[in-house]
Structure 1
Amino acid sequence: MHQQADKAILSRIDRVSVKDLALDRLKKYIFSNAISSGQRLPSERELAERLGIGRPSVREALKVLEALGLVESRIGEGTFVTHQSGASIGRHIGVSLASWGSTVVEICGARQIIEAECARVAAEQASASEIESLAQTLQQIETAGSPSDYLAADMQFHRQIAHAAHNTIVTHILENLITLLEETLHEEQADQLPLQEEGLSTHRTIFTMIANHDADGAAVAMRQHLQFSTELWLAIVSLGTQSSSDEK
């Protein structure tokens, strides 16, 4: 019993990045009464000084907040608080994922593990016609006229990579994961969330690696792409939790 207690107390401590801590502080600041919709946030320099961290960490945190639709960056003017569109979406995603008997961390982690290797295999096995189909979908992503069009093309892009790996089981697993996210986004009108330049550039990198049959490069590119997506999903769900607690 003592040994079990020791193991529980001395269990591994998860690493938390400075950027994640900054993101958490900024989310709480936006949800507090200290600042309201339409107001400008302090500058990156001031936020860095007040939080006692470097400006790059603040910049990365603001990038996630902008992806959530909580802030809007205006060239030459600064960063402004917008509506809290991510909160209601986060509540629904949390419920949907709970029905799987898993946490959002596990779901996002599963995507990173499976899709990175899936991209590696797709780079090795994708046919010329499959690469051409990916190129067409990539063009739809890059020319999307609305967030909903972007999201539809984005989901299709990931489905096509799964099929290009030529493994029925992997394809089925990823189809289920992608469909869950797609349905949730559709039901919760997630087209409120803005398009992401980072998403656009990383899709292009993934495609280039697969088209060039660079297996290692495809895996790395997919992992980097999904890392940002994971941070975004986790932040969205945490917003739903934060909003629910504030309403009680």
Structure 2
Amino acid sequence: MATNESSISSPNLPAAAGAASASPFAPVTPPPRLRLSDMVYEQLETMIVEGRLAPGSALPSERDLAQQMGVSRPSLREALLRLESRGVIVGRAGGGYLVANASQPLLAEPLSQLMSRHSKTVDDVLEMREVLEAKAVELAAARATSEDIARLRQVLEALEAAFAAGQDGRDGNAGKSLLTHMPELDAQFHLALAEATHNLVLVHLMHAIFELLRGSVADNYQAIVGHGADLEELIDQHRRIFNAVATRDACAATRHLQDHLAFIRANTANTANTVDSSGT
């Protein structure tokens, strides 16, 4: 008996559903008024919304992506152009596309400008991190996958290596790692914690404010070094947070995160640059 293609009412229905032939699979055809490019668009958009394609990540080449999705390149290209027109993806130099961080200009840029003019916002950022990240480490301890743990370990080990290089000058410029490489990796570690929550809203929010977080962390390192605080203790705090998440100890993860932020607060107090109303 031939397969009745009209019984397929949704592009997400498994191919084998409704098939009466011996074959477990049947050709999938889009419902009337839904083109193949629409189905491609919906799949890619869903992957972006769910965080399976993170902001800043590169899409495969058109050829590879068309092969993986089993569609023609014209249909794929039509879907990609539609995503680009909506600002969901952006073209990159040399060809291809990156997943856009669409919320960042709306959130991070105005906040960064505000921080540059008002020193009080330094404390406000720490308060925001206390709210968001305390919950993030709790969720990460419960939900992190083996891939999430591996990512956190990779960033932590890079952070430890940058500290060692900055301490003995192996980076070719004594202190460079302490005030450039370390803050970047520190921010990446906290972003990886957020991603390990698998909370879609939290992940997108943290990506949206990542530039704000990175700038704040860099300022914190300047202040901490200026205070003569022990950066090795800062590294140990990240190690304790990681160990708690990796061992599924949500209470310990939250406690270590709070200790970490308290350490930052204690060593950055009264160090923010005051900017006058003229902005100079």
Give the aligned partner of residue 157 of structure 2.
139
CA contact (8 A) 1:122 1:161 kept: yes
Using the TM superposition, give the Cα deviation of residue 96 of structure 1 relative to its aligned residue in structure 2, in angstroms. 3.6
Q: 2:240 corresponds to which letter in structure 1?
A: T
Structure 2 counterpart of 1:116: 134
Q: What is residue 49 of structure 2 aligned with on the other side?
A: none
- Looking at both structures, which has the greater relative contact order when contacts are Cα pairs under 8 Å and sequence separation is at least 6? 1
Q: 2:131, 2:137 → 1: CA distance?
A: 10
CA deviations on 1:84-112 (whole Å, 9 max, x unpaired) are: xxxxxxxxx99542779x83322211101
In the other structure, the counterpart of 1:157 is: 189
Equivalent of residue 215 in structure 1, options 233, 238, 250 = 250
Gaps of at least 5 residues in structure 1 are 1-92
Could you say what secondary structure the match of 2:206 adopts? helix
Larger Rg: 1 or 2?
2
Deviation digits for residues 29-79 of structure 1, max 9, x if unmatched? xxxxxxxxxxxxxxxxxxxxxxxxxxxxxxxxxxxxxxxxxxxxxxxxxxx
**Cα 1:177–1:235 shift into 2, 3 Å:** farther
Partners of 2:187 and 2:217 within 8 A in 1: no
Deviates more, 1:194-203 or 1:211-220: 194-203
Alignment match, 2:212: 180
1:165 & 1:114 partners in 2: Cα distance? 11
One-letter code of the match for 2:197? Answer: A
Deviation string, structure 1 residues 172-194 (Cα, Å, up to 9, x no partner): 333344421424677x8x76964
| C-alpha distance in 2 between matches for 1:183 and 1:231 | 18
Structure 1 residues 178 and 225, CA, compared in 2 at 3 Å: closer, same or farther? farther
Instruction: From the two aligned structures, give the one with the greater helix fraction.
Output: 1
Secondary structure of the residue aligned to 2:211 is helix
Distance 1:230 1:192 in 2: 10
Partner in structure 2 of residue 231 of structure 1: 266
1:162: Cα distance to partner? 0.3
How many residues align? The count is 148
**What is the identity, as a one-letter code, of the residue corresponding to 2:233?**
E
CA offsets, 1:141-173, max 9 Å, x none?
111021211111111100000000111221233
In structure 2, what is the Cα distance between the partners aligned to 1:210 and 1:226? 17
RMSD: 3.3
Q: AA paired with 1:108? A: L
Distance 1:222 1:191 in 2: 20
1:203 positional shift: 0.3
Q: Taking structure 1 as reference, are residues 212 and 108 closer, same or farther at Cα in structure 2, changes over 3 Å only? A: same
Q: Which amino acid aligns with 2:185?
A: A
For structure 2, the 5+ residue unaligned runs are 1-110, 166-176
- Separation in 2, partners of 1:173, 1:119: 15
Question: What's the counterpart of residue 64 of structure 1?
Answer: none
Rounded to whole Å, the distance in 2 between the matches of 1:222 and 1:229 is 11
The share of aligned pairs that are identical, in percent, is 27
Asked whether the equivalents of residues 114 and 121 of structure 2 are also in contact (C-alpha less than 8 Å), the reply is: no
- Name 2:231's counterpart in structure 1: 196
Letter in 2 for 1:119: V
- State the distance in 2 between where 1:213 and 1:106 align: 29
CA deviation string 1:201-235 (max 9, x = no partner)? 10000000000011111111111111112334443
TM-score, normalised relative to structure 2:
0.46
